[in-house]
Structure 1
């Protein structure tokens, strides 16, 4: 399977951010979209509220002009961030009176967020979720559909 370039780059950035403890849902340069966009926070001007999918005036202009940021349109970026925040346990848009998780950088919360983002990114590309391992257990006529070379040491 050929992985589209924007997906591959996004997955690498998110993977590295997760494992290097550089993923923070409450920071616009260290959240899912912030990491996809090379830790820049200028994307926050695409919406008036962090976690909202409503484009601001600036966002609408960029969307109508067909602008892409590391391959993603403004509305796609906002949906990625909303997906991430909700899967991490936040109520969006982020504001002081909406509930949020006690520890927003808890690895389990971040993993849930990344899992949801990867599923959404794959959906954007029209491919199967690369994190869906259930396919390796498929079988036909009592035989596994996929074979693996297992090396014992």
Structure 2
């Protein structure tokens, strides 16, 4: 299967964030989208509410101009973030009184979020769900069970 470049890049970044314990759903530079977009937070201006699918004025302008962020449109970015947060147990859009998990950094919770994100990313690129590569995210004692290079060959 020929994996689109944006999907491959996103998977590699998410893999490293997960295994390096730098994936954090409560930090816009370290959540799924934050990691996909090189740990910058400028994407948060695409919406007025974290986890919302409603584009802000800035997001609407970027969407209408056809702008892409590491290959993803503003609406695609918002969709990825929403699905990640919800799969991690958050009620979206985020606010102080909405439901959230007791331990948002729990590895099992983050793995669930990543599974949902990967499935969405594959759907966006019209490719079969690459979670057949589930070995990428397998871990033992908070360490990667397999090395990325050996799995992708």
TM-score range, shorter chain: 0.7 to 0.9
Partner of 2:63: 63
Task: Report the counterpart of residue 127 of structure 2 in structure 1.
Answer: 127
Answer yes or no: is 1:113 the counterpart of 2:98. no
Is 1:94 equivalent to 2:91 in the alignment? Answer: no
Q: Which residue of 2 aligns with 1:37?
A: 37
Find the residue that maps to 2:104 and give its secondary structure. coil
Q: Give the whole-Å Cα distance in 2 for the aligned partners of 1:81 and 1:120.
A: 11
Between the aligned partners of 2:96 and 2:120, the Cα distance in structure 1 is 27
Q: Give the count of matched residue pairs.
A: 133
Q: In the TM superposition, what is the alpha-carbon distance from 1:132 to its structure 2 partner?
A: 4.2
Hey, what does 1:19 align to over in structure 2? 19
Structure 1: which 4+ aligned runs deviate by more than 3 Å? none
Structure 2 segments unaligned to the other structure (5+ residues): 134-153
In structure 2, what is the Cα distance between the partners aligned to 1:16 and 1:122? 18
TM norm structure 1 = 0.86
Q: Distance in 2 between matches of 1:32 and 1:26?
A: 10
**What is the distance in 2 between the residues matched to 1:48 and 1:76?**
16
Q: In structure 2, the residue corresponding to 1:131 is in which secondary structure? A: helix
Larger Rg: 1
- In structure 1, the partner of 2:137 is none
State the TM-score, normalized to the length of structure 2: 0.86
Q: Distance in 1 between matches of 2:132 and 2:63?
A: 31
Higher relative contact order (CA 8 A, sep 6+): 2
1:117-150: CA deviations, max 9, x gaps?
00000000101101147xxxxxxxxxxxxxxxxx
Structure 1 residues not aligned, in runs of 5+: 134-153
| RMSD after superposition | 0.8
Looking at structure 2, the residues matched to 49 and 108 of structure 1 have their Cα atoms a distance apart, in angstroms, of 26
